[in-house]
Every structure is written in structure tokens, then in C-alpha cells.
Amino acid sequence: MASVQPQEIVFKHVDGLDIAMDVYVPESATPKSPAPVVLWWHGGGLLQGTRKAASPHQLRSPSSHNLCFISADYRLAPQSKFPAILSDCKAAIDFLFTPEFASATGNRVNPNKLILSGSSAGGWLSLLCGTGIGFKASGLEPPEKERVKGIAPLYPITDLLDPFWTTKQYPVSYYKRVIDKEELGSFLDHNGDEVASCALDSPRNTFYHYMIQEAILADLLLAGESIEPSAYSVAPALKSGNYELPPTYIVHGDIDDKVPVQQSRDVVAAAGLDARVHYDELEGVDHLFDRDPSCDMENMYSFMHRVFGTL
């Protein structure tokens, strides 16, 4: 099935920075029958990546599922810290409800039917934005609850305090060689110029592996912010009773060596017997499994259609 071509839309962030999103509007969508929205954030540990990294099933979803798929950039650490990144995500959500977005998409998109999604670190962003976890600590107002109808995190990071992020690996288990600090160069400069994406072939794409090697994710995201890493821990926040998940679909492979499956298990356990939370743990499956062109993610899209009432 042919993919819809993206429409790039750039919007001004509150800080004056241009943030881009690629919007894929189904050809069947009309002002009288606007398409529901899936807003997705890419992975990369919040250190690398681009909105151009969407998986084939996502690019097919406007045609195959009549969904408006939106892939949005956000500023990258360590040049921008966690509060700035969350503010970019909230700005993207808010922009969907503006006259500017309606005009740019010909009133063919319905933001009142909105699911947040993301892969890996992007899945973490979807969980934080869908629940409000981490926003108070960041000095930010969370997204309006009624705007988010559901969340679909794919193999998400969920807790900076997991030993996986705090234990050095020489070399990283899946990388097979030690990465020299010099390979990262200026990307490690906390005071460098802010960027909101990096190309798929950028040398910055070694950053995630170096971060795991050196166990420095919390420092890269929070240095100088006076915020405890626990402020962004999803499962403990849910257990506190101060936050709750909207309808949620989580999927994780049980041999994931880039983000431990325990990150998802903890969130699901914290949600308890909430019938709105559906979890698929895939046996013998690693990180980024949905990049395979043959992967259709039918369970996730069935969840989305139930949330949108389009089954």
C-alpha cells in the first residue's frame, strides 16, 4: 500500500526556536470527516534522532488505518535539558489545536481524537506528556488531560534510576567495541548550540551507545537543573496515586538490549489491574523490531481504533 507524502509544518516554540513536524494526512480525510491523530516522537535517548526515523508501518498508517500520522522533532540533550525537551513536546500538542494547524491541514485533521506515541525515549515522552509526570519538577504546566485520549509507547525508557542507565559497560553488550570520547566531539558540549534533530547518517548517532557505555544519561539530561532523576520515573509516580494512565498500549521485546524490558514491566505492574492498559511482551524480540517492513503492529492499531471509536 502506497504511503502518503508528508507535509512539513514548522511552528514557533515559546522560546522562539523553530520546531518541525511531518504531517501525513490520509487522502480520504475531509473537513466533514477529519482523521484522528497519532503524534509520535522518535527515540535516541533524547540525545540523537530525527522525525525522519518513522517505521514503515507508521508511514503506511494514513492509507491502511485512515489515521493522521505526525512525527515531530524536539530539542536534543545535552545542549537542551529535560525541561526544554518536555516544553517542545507540549508545544507540539498545543499547536495541533491552533487555527494555524487547522488551516495548514485544510481542516482535514481532528486533534480532539489524539493519541500520543513514541519509540524508546520517544515512548517515554509520550508517557510523561500523557500523564503529566515530570512537568511540575520541570517548572512546566502539563498538557491538558482532556486533549490526550490515549498513549502508545513502543519499548519505552521509563526510569533513569534503573541500573542499566547507571552501570558502565566496557564495551556495551551489543556494540562490541569501546567508543572513544573523541568520537563524540562537540556533541558532548553542554553549552553548544541547540539542535532539534540530527541526520540519519550523522556521527551523532553514536551518542546513545556512548551514553550507555559511560552510564551518563541522567547527567546529559539534567546537569545544572537541580531536578532529581526520579522526577521522571513513571512507575513510582503511578504508584503514588497522583497520576494515572489514560487508555494505554505498551509493547516491548523480551530480549531488548538497548532498553531493558523491565522498564515496561514496571509501568504495567504499577498500573495494576487497570483494564485500560494493554501490554504486549514479545518473545525473542529486540529493540526497534517494528522497523521491519513486514511488521504491521495490528494490535496497536486495533487499540487505537478502539480508543477513537472507529472499529
How far apart CA 29 and CA 25 sit, in angstroms, is: 7
Strands 7-12 and 18-24: antiparallel
For residue 185, is it within any domain?
no
Assigned C-alpha cell, 306: 478502539
Q: Is the CB of residue 204 less than 8 Å from the CB of residue 48? A: yes
Per-residue burial over 227-248, b if 16 or more Cβ lie within 10 Å, else e, is bebebbbbbbbbeeeebebbbb
Domain count, the chain: 1
For residue 140, is it within any domain?
yes
* Nearest partner of 228 among 128, 125, 136, judged by Cα: 136
For residue 122, is it within any domain?
yes
Q: What is the pLDDT of residue 14?
A: 63
pLDDT in tens, 153-171: 999 999 999 999 999 999 9
- Tell me which residues of the chain have a pLDDT lower than 70: 1-2, 13-14, 16, 311
Per-residue burial over 62-100, b if 16 or more Cβ lie within 10 Å, else e, is bbebbbbbbbbbbbbbbbbbbbbbbbbbbbbbbbbeeee
Q: What is the pLDDT of residue 311?
A: 65
pLDDT in tens, 53-100: 999 999 999 999 999 999 999 999 999 999 999 999 999 999 999 999
Q: What is the pLDDT of residue 262?
A: 98
For residue 1, is it within any domain?
no
For residue 24, is it within any domain?
yes
For residue 204, is it within any domain?
yes
Residue span of the structural domain in which 50 resides: 7-166+197-308
CA of 50: how far to CAs of 74, 75, 124, 180, in Å? 8, 10, 16, 24
For residue 259, is it within any domain?
yes
Q: What is the pLDDT of residue 187?
A: 97
pTM of the full predicted structure?
A: 0.97
Assigned C-alpha cell, 259: 532498553
For residue 182, is it within any domain?
no
Domain containing residue 136: CATH number: 3.40.50.1820
